Amino acid sequence: MTENAHKVVVIGHKNPDTDSICSAIAYAELKNLTGQPIHEARRAGEPNQETSYVLQRFGLTPPRLCNDVNPKVRDVDYRRFAAVKGDLSLRRAWTMMRDAALDTLPVVDDEGHLTGLISVKDIATANMAVFDTQVLAKSRTSYRNILETLQGTMLTGSPDAVVEKGKVVIGVSSPDIMETVLEEGDIVILSNRYESQLCAIEMNVSLIIVCLGSSVARTILKLAEENGVAIMSVPMDTYAAAKLISQCAPISHSMTTENLLNFNLSTPVDDVLRVMAKVRHRYFPILDGGGKYCGMLSRRNVINMSKRQVILMDHNETTQAIDGYDKADILEIIDHHRLGDLQTAGPMYFRCQPVGCTATIVAQMYDEQGLVPRPQIAGALLGAILSDTLMFRSPTCTPLDEATARRMAELAGVQLEQFANEMFEAGEGLEGKTAEQVLLQDFKVFTCGDVRFGVAQGNYMTLSNLQKARDLLTPGLVEFRRNQHIEDLYVLLTHVPEKTSTVLYSGRYAASMLAEGFEIEPANGAATLPGLISRKKQFIPKILAAYQEL
């Protein structure tokens, strides 16, 4: 089971507002209180100043950022097979691969960083190099590898020594012939013949391997110790020992170290599949952010991967949904907007009510479960309702919204009007902000036919702050529109007390759409819409109707 496989992500729309984030927090807690699988509230963007104030006011931690729910390697149930060190013998590596049904082993250093890969193919290639009699010296093979592979016992010398020079010789000839073959530092495989053992010591070999578990005379052992010659006793015959001796070499000598194909925990699964389609490896190593080995990934692991499970809050349109939603398993949608174009692969729970705020629906769901939100959650729900209904001034506001907000205020222990004023004042501050930051505080993209247009909204309690926002935003509208890849851009600067919005606009069709939808004559990139304070109920329906006439 992977870290995220059991978590359900509860998340609102891109460029989240107070309702989007607070409703996600409250609904995730409701789900967890009812004993369902672990739900975690996440956010699809940075919280605006208003939202930050609400969260801080009630001591709530902002949800973790989630840029997309495209499946990543970390979401795959990959194999957490232990890595090996480079001094492991070829024989031992092959045994491990056979027992674990692997064809590749990751090799790491002492800190866990990937240094190479050893495959069955690499081992087969090494075993075919039967004429390289100096392979143990070239690879600086440890005596411990030889002891393990040949199941031997050390009679003289240190098991911690390594082969530094010399070749491997099978000492089955007479001593006279051996003298012409052996050189100082060689390794010789012998039987129990006393004269052959003595000859090897006299030739100053580094290691004598005595086969068939034969006993070694005390005189030979003493001479070997005096001359610095190591002796091992192994249970197998000379043929078997000769067959296995090259497999004592460490895998570091034969492993692949260059152009290693590996994936990071954050690598998108789509990228993994593209690589796997071109490279027919069976397993690929996985590294964490620090380059340390985590596990092995196979094609089968990816095919059998479980999708991320997601609950969408406060939206049901593709342009507002988090990236990768179409590759996730959408379990629920809780919303209060018009029906959009978002489609799911299978049936799911969809709740959309004609109220002014998603938080009102969430509070209603607490009631249905017989639960009372704790004060901090009640405060978050209150902030969301006040924000979306503009403290009950919006035409989208219903009696249920207002009644819910007043009940949440009691549970949170705050005075509603005072809290609302503080929240709106915190939200409309422009100090230190760029035009893009202000626009993204509450920005949504819509689609009508082939046209993509965006609508941003800012709510202001004073005309002076509204004018400051207009002065800040007007010069950057064209650049912002191009950066967002939209045809037209509308910015609603709403003066809440007077229930009036100034609309700044930019784009090919924007002026004509405003004229068509609201029967006005916009000029110089701006227009005034008396009585308009709701983007959802008053602006979007009319502007969409105008686009449909194109």
| Tally of domains in the chain | 4
What is the domain-level CATH number for residue 94?
3.10.580.10
| Same domain for 203 and 281 | no
Q: How many CA atoms lie within 13 A of 389 on its CB side?
A: 29
| Same domain for 183 and 87 | no
Owning domain of residue 191: 140-248
What is the domain-level CATH number for residue 410?
3.90.1640.10
φ, ψ of residue 349 to 5 degrees: the values are -80, 125
| Same domain for 418 and 348 | yes
Could you give the CA distance from residue 530 to residue 512 in angstroms, rounded to a whole number?
18
pLDDT for the residue 532:
95
Q: Is 103 domain-assigned?
A: yes
Among 314, 313, 361, 321, CA closest to 341: 321
| Same domain for 495 and 477 | yes
Q: Is 446 domain-assigned?
A: yes
| Same domain for 443 and 516 | yes
What is the domain-level CATH number for residue 515?
3.10.310.20
Q: Is 131 domain-assigned?
A: no
pLDDT for the residue 480:
96
In what side-by-side order are the strands of the sheet with 104-108?
A: 84-85, 104-108, 114-119
Q: Is 3 domain-assigned?
A: no
Q: Write out the two tokens for 166.
A: 């010399």
pLDDT for the residue 102:
84
436-461: burial string, b at 16+ Cβ within 10 Å, e else: eebbbbbbbbbbbeebebbbbbbbbb
| Same domain for 315 and 282 | no
pLDDT profile of the chain (550 residues), mean per 10 = 67 96 98 91 94 97 93 87 92 92 90 92 82 89 95 95 93 81 92 89 94 92 95 94 92 90 89 87 87 89 86 95 92 94 90 97 98 98 96 95 98 97 90 91 93 95 92 96 96 94 96 96 94 94 93
Count CB neighbours of 301 within 10 A: 20
pLDDT for the residue 179:
86
| Same domain for 348 and 204 | no
Any idea of the CA torsion for 352, 358, 360, 363, to the nearest 10 degrees? 90
Q: Write out the two tokens for 179.
A: 């003298």
Q: Write out the two tokens for 548.
A: 């449909």
**Which parts of 268-357 are beta strand (E)?**
283-287, 293-298, 309-313, 329-335, 349-352
The sign of the torsion formed by the CA atoms of 268, 270, 276, 282 equals positive
Task: Report which DSSP code applies to 81.
Answer: P
| Same domain for 85 and 165 | no
pLDDT for the residue 416:
97
Could you give the CA distance from residue 103 to residue 97 in angstroms, rounded to a whole number?
6
35: alpha, beta or left? (left if phi > 0; alpha if psi -120 to 50): left
Count CB neighbours of 74 within 10 A: 18
Q: Is 1 domain-assigned?
A: no
Q: Is 2 domain-assigned?
A: no
pLDDT for the residue 129:
66
On whether the CB atoms of residues 244 and 130 are closer than 8 A, the answer is: no
